Structures are given as C-alpha cells and as structure tokens.
Amino acid sequence: MELLRTLVLSVAVLGTAMTIVAYLTWIERKVAARFHNRVGPYYVGWPHGWLQPLADVLKLIIKEDLRPRRADALLYELAPVLVVVPALFGFALLPLAPGLAVLDHPYSLLLFLAVGSLALLGIFAAGWGSHNAYALLSALRSVAIAVSYEIPMILALLVPALLAGSFRLDDLVQRQTGGAWFIFAPVLGQVSFVVFLLAMLAEANKSPLDVVEAESELIAGYNTEYSGVKFALFYAGEYAHTLALCGLAATVFLGGYLGPAFLPGPVWLVLKSLALFVLVLWIRWSFLRVRIDQVLRLNWRFLFPLALANLLLAAFFAVRTR
C-alpha cells in the first residue's frame, strides 16, 4: 500500500514537474521577448504560441540520433541521463503538504544537494566524451564552477537548518508558518537568500554566470555535439535543475506550500517557484556575461567569506536564543 501510494505520488509529481518544465521554455521566451520589446512565440498555438513547447519537443524527438565517430560511446550516451536524473530527483524531496512528499527523509536538505551535485558528472562526461575542444573547455569550466559554488550554496542553506534545528525540508517549512518566512529574518534571511541566488545562477548556468555554455565563445559548450533526443534531455535537464533549485529556494526561504487557504498547498509551491524562476530570468536577460576567472574570483573573494560570516552569525544567534 505504501509502495502504491509512493508510486502514484511520484508519477503525479514527475508528470506535473515535467509539464511545468516544458512550459518553462515558453515562459522564458515570452518574458525575454517582453524585455526586448517584442512578442515572442505567437503563431504556433495561436494566439501566443502556447503549443510552441510541444512543437519543439516533437521536432527534437524526430531528429536523427547521431554520435561523432571518435566520441567515447559510453560517456557520450550516458551523459544526458546523468544530467537529467539528479534534477528530477530533487522534485521528489520537496514537501507538498504537511508530511507529504514523495520521499520524506530526515536529511532531505542534504540529500537534495548531494544528489544534485551528480549533474556535474554528466556535464563533464558530455564534455570529455564528445571529443570536441569546445566541449572540453566547457567541461573544464563547469568542474571549476560547480565545485566552487557548491560551498556558498551549502553554507547559505545551513543557516535556516541551523535555526530550525533540523535538515528535514518539511520541518523547515513548518518553522515558517504564520507569515514568518525565512527570507524576512533580519540580516540572516536576506544574506542567505542573496548568496543562494548567486550560487544558484552559477550552478544552473544562467547569465551572468553562465560561462559553462557560453554560446558566443564555446558554441554550445558541453552539448555542442548533441542533437535530437539527447539534446532535448540536456535542455530539459537544465530547466528541470533550475526549477528544482527554485523549488528548494521557495521551500526554504519563502515558506513552501504555506499560504492562504483559497489555493491548495502544492499550487502555492508552484507559484512561488515560478516567481523565483521569473526573477532568475530577469537577471539572466539583463546582464552580460562575467568571465570565468572573474566568476571564480567572485566566489572565493566575496560569496564564500560572506556565506561563512553569515553562518557564524547564525550560529551565534542560535546559541543565544537556545
């Protein structure tokens, strides 16, 4: 019975998540278009192109499945899977209602971060296995960035865990009832959120910190040699990873499924995640790209000390109030 319940729930969550991921591309194109004073997708699914994601997915599925002659077969074929699965795993951990998540684990926050880091392996496998100099450069950059920006991300997320006394995501949400969202916590909430936001931009490869797939320098980065379904997996994986991180931020900082009763909890979670996603888009479409050594310098000279100081302050505060 437990198994059946988990199965049904995971199918529901996964299905919803992937549909939202598909329409995230539509949201991105529309939001970007408004920033550029133009309309965006319009004719496919007239008006306003709401069938555009379907058209894109169908096009990618019917393309030829190719592999460069000298690419490493195992790494090349395995990489898209390694990128998509950790992102999807994140959706299983997010609490949808009090006590309800596909996987309700006492250390779900740490599990989310740990499994999410596996995506780096996929990116590097793609970069190395493609036998392409541009992909290799991109893979090198992604290793440097993912490893570096994990640290402030974890330090920023440790602060609410420290103040809540638990690593379970549902406990973190429960501590934010009554409108006391963590982002409103004086100093600690805002600093943690900003650090997490910057780290999320780097991890999810969004401008201004998107050196990994810097289109103007490295063609398409690690997925230069990919097309068809494998490219669709990378593409969806990137959006899924972003959405999962936005979902995590919504859960930890913005109260997750909490909200006025006229909408059910999961809907609130989705709305907050989408709001954060639009914020990420706003940042993405407004700024030029920071160079790789400047990205790393930003991390080690600014974000890491800031996150560390923030954690120390939180520890001090936690001891004082216990």
Partner 1 sequence: MAEAPLQVVERDFGELAMHMGPQHPSTHGVLRLTLRLRGETVVAADPGIGFLHRGVEKLSESLGWEQLAPVYERDDYVAPTFNSLGFCVAAERLGGIQVPRRGAWLRTLTAELTRIASHLVWLGTWGLDLGGALGGGTTLYMYCFREREKILDWLEAHTGTRFHTNVNLIGGARYDLTPELARSARVLMNGIEAAIPELWGMSGDSSILRDRTRGIGVISPELAQAVGVTGPVLRGSGIAFDVRQAAPYDAYPELQFDVPVRREGDAFARFQVRMEEILQSVRLVRQILDGLPRGPIFTRRPLKNPKASKLPAGEAYAAVESARGELGFYLVSDGSWRPYRLKIHAPSFANLQVIPHVAPGLLVADLVALLGSLDPVLGDVDR
User: Which lies closer to partner 1 via its Cβ, residue 68 or residue 259?
Assistant: 68
Place of tokens 């009090």: 98
Q: Closest separation between CB of residue 206 and partner 1, Å? A: 8
Q: Closest separation between CB of residue 136 and partner 1, Å? A: 8
Tokens found for residue 58: 């169908």
The rounded distance, in Å, linking the Cα atoms of 193 and 209 is 17
Q: Closest separation between CB of residue 149 and partner 1, Å? A: 17
User: Which lies closer to partner 1 via its Cβ, residue 14 or residue 31?
Assistant: 31
User: Which lies closer to partner 1 via its Cβ, residue 19 or residue 294?
Assistant: 294
CA neighbor of 311 nearest in space, from 158, 206, 147, 165: 158
Distances (CA, A) of 57 to 21, 27, 95, 230: 12, 15, 29, 11
Binding site for partner 1 (CB under 8 A): 32, 35-38, 133-134, 136-137, 140-141, 206-208, 210-211, 214-219, 284-294
Cα R_g (the chain), whole angstroms = 20
H helices of the chain, in order, are: 2-35, 52-61, 73-93, 108-116, 119-129, 133-164, 169-174, 188-203, 215-218, 229-253, 265-284, 292-298, 304-320
CA neighbor of 209 nearest in space, from 104, 302, 127, 125: 302
User: Which lies closer to partner 1 via its Cβ, residue 218 or residue 240?
Assistant: 218
Q: Closest separation between CB of residue 294 and partner 1, Å? A: 6
User: Which lies closer to partner 1 via its Cβ, residue 37 or residue 321?
Assistant: 37
Q: Closest separation between CB of residue 290 and partner 1, Å? A: 6
User: Which lies closer to partner 1 via its Cβ, residue 92 or residue 218?
Assistant: 218
The rounded distance, in Å, linking the Cα atoms of 68 and 302 is 41
Q: Closest separation between CB of residue 321 and partner 1, Å? A: 39
